[in-house]
Structure 1
């Protein structure tokens, strides 16, 4: 997102909400950098820091917002306050958008932005990060932070069976470990230690 913004001639910063101690800390950062607008990724994670922000902001909904946090009364209240204070609500899916509008009692501006990615050819799997995937493989890439709501362990048996029939088929999971128990289940299911090429299933 920052690269797109910079390509349009804007200055852009990426700030991890895990590195922000609270709303006051964020406001100081926004003032120091003279930020004109904020795109908050996730209605709860970013939204809790943006409620009442003096800087205009938009909220990009995340799957965890719609599938987990919305069922927690306290988190739902925070998300509702966050989206009602935003300039617009952005969602990658129509179903998610309508569900969140209903749950959060939000009738303000909303943008539906279907997800699509056209990676450059240099982004094709290769090198050490591909975990020894051979050239010519049919690679299914699942980018996700390992946690219960994005637990890819249910795919392991299906891909193992498919790989046994056609050795070109691989599943490549790329992302940080956000929940150690979830990661342990995945690594146990594939019989590897995780990290780099350590967790391949055949």
Structure 2
């Protein structure tokens, strides 16, 4: 089968990583899978023409609205992987929700990354319940856990490839940390409002004044230019907070390994905000309690191995792809 895979493929996005991984699964099962960026297409007719010209037999897409609206003129079978934006943002817009409903009716299957995503989708489109499969994502960063923990309590894992030292980074930035071990809290995100990278800045700046060993590093690409300027101005006036531009994947993974903790922040994802309300208190405890840190790291690794299996994810997409034949 020749399959077209539509997704947001700009380099900074998690969608690209997810699409490349799933595409690999599909191709390993003997199908031809061609990835194309949603941003290439302005209308559903363009996608319809591409499907006809290239003789695609089926379509898979990430994002019920962004991708789904491009299939309204197509008659080939397709499956959809819910994006976080679908459930957290687009579902609130009546016109977008209407389009999403039409796409849902015609889809062969849908994939939600969590039970909560499925429940929200079922609430709005109960008729689609039997089509929705829950398949958690596998870790984006490889197969071995880093030294850093993640305060969202998700097991971030990474491959031991490139080397990176935040100590050297701080020294090159004029920070005297020769005889002390810095505690680096790393927030990785594209600079846009929904990721809320400024949530921690004021509280962290105040903490750094009392405890100079702690530093907050915000690292990621510019996604929203005006908002990026706002972040730059805020960070410039803060203490112990740094903004670093995006890095190649292997170097980013190494930077994560060299961090004390990896932090996640998002306006649309309630878990992150809830945990960050007690961020300073939790962080101080993690610094002083080695057993707690080691326990969280071990449990995170155990959780990932149990609930985010590469083999299970691969087999799920093999079976779902068969439904497009």
TM-score normalised by the shorter chain: which range applies?
Answer: 0.7 to 0.9
CA distance in 2, matches of 1:79, 1:173: 33
Q: State the shift of 1:150 in Å.
A: 2.5
Structure 2 Cα separation of the partners of residues 167 and 83 of structure 1: 51
* Cα-to-partner distance string for 1:55-74 (whole Å, 9 max, x where unaligned): 21111111111111111110
Query: Offset of 1:145 from its aligned partner?
Result: 4.2
Give the secondary structure class of the aligned counterpart of 1:39: strand
Farther off after superposition, 102-111 or 151-160: 151-160
In 2: Cα distance, 1:93 partner to 1:109 partner: 14
Alignment of 1:48-197 (within 5 A): 48-105=69-126, 106-117=128-139, 118-119=141-142, 121=159, 126=164, 132=169, 140=186, 142=188, 144-157=189-202, 165=211, 167=213, 171=217, 173-175=219-221, 177=223, 179-191=224-236, 195-196=245-246
2:29 corresponds in structure 1 to 8
- Call closer, same or farther: CA 1:101–1:186 in 2, change over 3 Å: farther
Task: Return the alpha-carbon distance in structure 1 between the equivalents of residues 55 and 90 of structure 2.
Answer: 31
Q: Is the 8 A contact 1:133 1:170 kept in 2?
A: no
Whose radius of gyration is greater, 1 or 2? 2
- Name the count of aligned residue pairs: 192
In structure 1, runs of 5+ residues without a counterpart are 198-202
Structure 2 stretches lacking a partner, 5+ long: 1-20, 143-157, 172-181, 237-241, 248-325
**Cα separation, 1, equivalents of 2:72 and 2:207:** 47
- Cα distance between partner residues in 2 of 1:81 and 1:100: 13
Instruction: Measure how far apart 1:35 and its partner are.
Output: 1.9
Asked if structure 2 preserves the Cα contact closer than 8 Å seen for 1:47 and 1:82, the reply is yes
Deviations, residues 80-138 of structure 1 (Å, cap 9, x unaligned):
111121111111111111112212343341111112315162566749xxx9489x986
Q: Which moved more, 1:28-37 or 1:74-83?
A: 28-37
Aligned equivalents of 1:9 and 1:162: distance in 2? 55
More off after superposition, 98-107 vs 54-63: 98-107
Moved more, 116-125 or 82-91: 116-125
RMSD: 3.4
C-alpha distance in 1 between matches for 2:82 and 2:227: 23
Which moves more between the two structures, 104-113 or 90-99? Answer: 104-113
Note if contact 2:192-2:222 (Cα within 8 Å) is conserved in structure 1. Answer: no
> Within 2, Cα distance between the matches of 1:193 and 1:171?
6
Deviation at 1:162, TM superposition (A): 7.2
TM normalised by structure 2 equals 0.49
Q: Which structure carries more helix by proportion?
A: 2
State how far apart, in whole Å, the 2-side matches of 1:83 and 1:5 are: 22
1:82 partner SS = helix
1:7 deviation in Å? Answer: 3.2
